[in-house]
Structure 1
Amino acid sequence: MNSLIPLINQAYQYKNKVAIIDENGTYTYEQLLEVSASIAQHLLEQTGKTDLNETRVAFMAMPNFYYAAIQWGIWQAGGIAVPLGISHPIPEIEYILDDTQAEVILTTHLYQDFLAPLAQNSQSRHLLISNVETLPRQSVASAKLPEVPASRRALIIYTSGTTNRPKGVVTTHEIIRAQITSLTTAWGWTEHDAILHTLPLHHVHGIINILYCSLWSGARCEMMSKFDAQKVWDRFTQGELTLFMAVPTVYNRLIEFWNKADRTQKTAMSEGLKSMRLMVSGSAALPVSVLLKWKEISGQTLLERYGMTEIGMAISNPLLGERKPGYIGRPLPGVEVQLIGEDGELITGPDDMGEIRVKSPSLFLEYWGKEVATKGCYDDGWFCTGDIAVRDKDGYYRILGRSSVDIIKSGGYKISALEVEEVLRKHPKIAEVAVVGVPNDQWGEQVSAAIVAQGRKKAIMLDELREWAQEFLSKYKIPTAMMVVNDLPRNAMGKVTKPSIVRQFQQKSKK
């Protein structure tokens, strides 16, 4: 019984092929269809519904086979999947549960005890369904599942915006198909591909670009529970992989590991990359020095691309043809891009600066529960990205930076400085704080905090601050640099001038 959900329907033509390999075993597309159908049937039985009809179902799972099976199960039951980051602290998870008004939390035995209190203690109670990996498997044909149209809302991914709280980005099954097919066409995916997956699975990069492009194509996705440079290099040297996608920080760590190896090991490691037909970098600006070093090590010119949670991927260097260092490439199939100057004029000539604006079938549907914010990010049907770029004579785009200084891109993550500031202000030794992103070769930007201490005392230390913040913030959001100041610089309107703070951090690092 085929499905109206495009991604799931696509899997029927690959039933006997291997879909996912993880630390627990090897799974075919047929097993993925069967297990996800069993989860869907169980969801409907537990909720007493014949169709979840866009009920929000939050879920938490390791990056493995059951992550995909749970998400597909939610979809086949008619629900909207809301992935929860396995590294997120309790306050962030509570916020997502309450913001989406999720009725159900779905998980494996691994996170049952962790999520049980949250199911009861947040603003509204949630039905907790756990141990889904122990459900009896049934055939897809025997499952009594609703017909879910491709126009239905499918996924809510949280991404930091210019406000102090994350916004839920909503996509439909049709939008997900558009995002996938644009990439699989541009990057030449086939059923003969095999990719190694090491990224988190609560972001578009890990969910769409890797996992679901792979499953759409009938390819094989090998999933690691977490990134480990040695294990990644060990897998590279075994050969057989054809694709790898990561953030610049990951490539930096792989380079560091290669640099420490002896000559024989280096030769074997580099030799193992010859089976790769494509290696991609994204989610943050790729330093040219990293691109050149990786080419020296691997013979591969990393393909840099550009996208956002709200738009999927929009711009990419070519699979075939010149990949320009420092450039993100040209618009992907089905994507229209324009540059708009500060005065609202359309930029037509080369090397003139403007904001990237996008039209595409891959654009998101809405910010969950935020109609005003959704309307505010469009101008005459064009999505306003907030990223400033130039375009050269060949039509290649180069990112210059954000139009807003309150979004920090660090290690492949986009972090709201306002959200971090809100948390840090709760510290008893902090009177005022401004969080900025300071340019950094390894991380893209380093999360840095300028602090005015309570009572003007410079008693707070970075290690103390970081340990305290772990209870409230994900690790990647916690500042890794700190500067205690007497006052924060402000303009005539009393607004903190963050560019001045960035310069202070840069000057401090040179001393």
Structure 2
Amino acid sequence: MNLPLVHRAYEHGPRTAIVTADGQFTYQDLLRLSGQVATRLLGGADDLWEQRVAFLVPAGFEYVATQWGIWRAGGIAVPLCVSHPRPELEYVIIDSGASIVITHPSFEALLRPIAEAHQLRFILTSDPLPSDIGQLAEVDATRRALILYTSGTTGKPKGVVTTHGNIQAQVTSLIAAWEWTSGDRILHVLPLHHIHGIVNVLTCALWAGAECHMLSKFEAEAVWKRICEENLTLFMAVPTIYTKLIAAWEKTASDRQMALSKGCAGMRLMVSGSAALPVQVLERWRNISGHFLLERYGMTEIGMALSNPLHGQRRAGCVGVPLPQVEVRLVDESGVPVPAGTPGEIQVKGPGVFLEYWHKPEATAKAFQDGWFCTGDLAVVEQDGYRILGRISVDIIKTGGYKVSALEIEEVLRAHPDIQECAVVGVGDPEWGERVCAALVLKSGCSLALEPFRSWAKEYLAVYKVPTRILSVEELPRNAMGKVTKPAVAQLFGARQITESQSA
């Protein structure tokens, strides 16, 4: 076993690693259970040799032990999202070529039929594990470790492959920049099929020998309770979560508000990322908590690239400067670097940059220019660092910390029996960053209300991809070549009365 993350866990031994509603678990507990999981996966073999293992386990100790068990057996971990419907889960399982599926019993009815239909090995986390840990795989840093699925401009999500070395580089960069120590205690409320939750929070905490306090799902009241009671030192979230925490704080009695704010004051760092942080949210959170949120910039393919300083002045709307081990440049449309003050596309180079898009060599090659990864994001360098201007592609929508593909959503919506044509766009929103909105051309004689439409769409799409606003139009705006003009579609949502879901 050559994984430094695991070796460090032996050093941290009796220290608390994971805290959940079920109790506290030490690094020794994690090593024991993950070793048993690895032994079960190997079944007498020496190494899984990068077999893909898809797993659907709620946030908690079992999730971490399963992920580590896959790595210690020499497999590639493919985490699935607990809120995704069957079509999205099946797509990831099949596209990744997973040969093994692991799931918590609560998801058995959802995943067992998929595993049986494709003749995949199926394991429940409740199944008996070997009492003894066998000889585990020898895994070096160059081996593939993780496949996370992210939306691209071509529609269907692509599998982003990172190696153990990539993950180590991403983690050690953040450990250095944000001064993680074994004395840290972080509250984990983020999705565990996303780099923000897996790397920035969970793996950084475990590398440092810190405590990771995990909630099975985000609930504002539960988060505030933990902030008050658990002596936390770190908190990381997306702008949508901060907005919901603010709303909960404002509904609370004044004496309770003081206690909540005092809980925040005891922390050393609070971070916001995965989406642009509205200035009004930053300022309101500063008034409530005393923290000027640290904004940073990253993506699935690169880990984190830019960060405001841990110590020193931070500026609203700025995502700071390159992190340790990361090179960043801005280029024009021809790929030529631009001077400070001139907008350009962010390109990134460094040991944390991903290896490849799974089984998509053309997409992988297209994503790089002279060894630099092309992020598709526009930025400008100002006095205090980089300021993000937005996406180059109008077909990528950033909503609630997720990056989603308008083209993927459109492909699904066209299958609706009442929809003839559609265009999906992101429309600016103070809570979500962007809301997913759909302009629909309905078939003759048809009408479509929002809630029935959303109920139908949730059968095929993750809930954060389902449009929260729809607009019926006679025809979609197009240019002279007949292509739908997305900026004009977005303008329609500001110019007309819109049907909006209150439950989104």
Do the structures match in fold with TM over 0.5? yes
What are the Cα deviations for residues 366-424 of structure 1, in whole angstroms up to 9, with x where unaligned?
00000000000001111000000111034x11111100011110001111111110111
Q: Which TM-score applies when normalising by structure 2?
A: 0.97
| C-alpha deviation, 1:51, in angstroms | 0.9
Indicate yes or no: 2:86 matched with 1:96: no
What are the Cα deviations for residues 279-333 of structure 1, in whole angstroms up to 9, with x where unaligned?
0000000001100000000000100000000000000111001111011111100
- Which of 378, 382, 387 is matched with 2:372 structurally? 382
2:120 alignment partner in structure 1: 126
Which secondary structure state, in structure 2, belongs to the residue aligned with residue 226 of structure 1? coil
| C-alpha deviation, 1:150, in angstroms | 1.7
Looking at structure 2, the residues matched to 422 and 7 of structure 1 have their Cα atoms a distance apart, in angstroms, of 41
Which secondary structure state, in structure 2, belongs to the residue aligned with residue 155 of structure 1? strand
Which secondary structure state, in structure 1, belongs to the residue aligned with residue 393 of structure 2? coil
| C-alpha deviation, 1:509, in angstroms | 6.1
1:163 alignment partner in structure 2: 154
What are the Cα deviations for residues 63-109 of structure 1, in whole angstroms up to 9, with x where unaligned?
00011100111111111110011111100111111111111001233
For these two proteins, the number of residue pairs brought into alignment is 499
Change (3 A) 1:52 1:494: same
Q: Which TM-score applies when normalising by structure 1?
A: 0.96
Alignment of 1:478-489 (within 5 A): 478-489=466-477
Which secondary structure state, in structure 2, belongs to the residue aligned with residue 272 of structure 1? helix
Deviating runs (4+, > 6 A) in structure 1? none
1:81 alignment partner in structure 2: 77
1:459 alignment partner in structure 2: 447
| C-alpha deviation, 1:110, in angstroms | 2.7
1:332 alignment partner in structure 2: 323
| C-alpha deviation, 1:143, in angstroms | 2.1
What are the Cα deviations for residues 19-66 of structure 1, in whole angstroms up to 9, with x where unaligned?
001111110001100100101001111xx5321000111111010001
Looking at structure 1, the residues matched to 449 and 106 of structure 2 have their Cα atoms a distance apart, in angstroms, of 35
Indicate yes or no: 2:273 matched with 1:282: yes
Which secondary structure state, in structure 2, belongs to the residue aligned with residue 196 of structure 1? strand
Contact 1:61 1:108 in 2 (8 A): yes
Alignment of 1:64-213 (within 5 A): 64-121=60-117, 124-132=118-126, 134-138=128-132, 142-213=133-204
Which secondary structure state, in structure 2, belongs to the residue aligned with residue 375 of structure 1? helix
Indicate yes or no: 2:343 matched with 1:353: yes
Looking at structure 1, the residues matched to 243 and 473 of structure 2 have their Cα atoms a distance apart, in angstroms, of 32
- Which of 477, 485, 488 is matched with 1:500 structurally? 488
| C-alpha deviation, 1:6, in angstroms | 2.1
Looking at structure 2, the residues matched to 185 and 134 of structure 1 have their Cα atoms a distance apart, in angstroms, of 40
| C-alpha deviation, 1:470, in angstroms | 1.0
| C-alpha deviation, 1:506, in angstroms | 1.9
| C-alpha deviation, 1:239, in angstroms | 4.4
2:456 alignment partner in structure 1: 468
2:307 alignment partner in structure 1: 316
1:25 alignment partner in structure 2: 23
Alignment of 1:159-308 (within 5 A): 159-308=150-299
| C-alpha deviation, 1:337, in angstroms | 0.6
2:502 alignment partner in structure 1: none
Looking at structure 2, the residues matched to 270 and 161 of structure 1 have their Cα atoms a distance apart, in angstroms, of 40
Looking at structure 2, the residues matched to 236 and 137 of structure 1 have their Cα atoms a distance apart, in angstroms, of 37
Contact 1:239 1:273 in 2 (8 A): no
Which secondary structure state, in structure 2, belongs to the residue aligned with residue 166 of structure 1? strand
2:39 alignment partner in structure 1: 41
- Which of 45, 48, 51 is matched with 1:55 structurally? 51
Contact 1:248 1:442 in 2 (8 A): yes
Q: Which runs of 5+ in 2 are unaligned?
A: 500-504
Which secondary structure state, in structure 2, belongs to the residue aligned with residue 347 of structure 1? coil
Which secondary structure state, in structure 1, belongs to the residue aligned with residue 19 of structure 2? strand
Amino acid at match of 2:481: M
Looking at structure 2, the residues matched to 219 and 10 of structure 1 have their Cα atoms a distance apart, in angstroms, of 11
Superposition CA RMSD, Å: 1.4
| C-alpha deviation, 1:261, in angstroms | 1.1
Which secondary structure state, in structure 1, belongs to the residue aligned with residue 54 of structure 2? strand
Change (3 A) 1:174 1:485: same
1:447 alignment partner in structure 2: 436
Contact 2:469 2:498 in 1 (8 A): no
Amino acid at match of 2:100: V
Change (3 A) 1:509 1:313: farther
Amino acid at match of 2:32: E
Which secondary structure state, in structure 2, belongs to the residue aligned with residue 493 of structure 1? coil
Looking at structure 2, the residues matched to 35 and 230 of structure 1 have their Cα atoms a distance apart, in angstroms, of 31
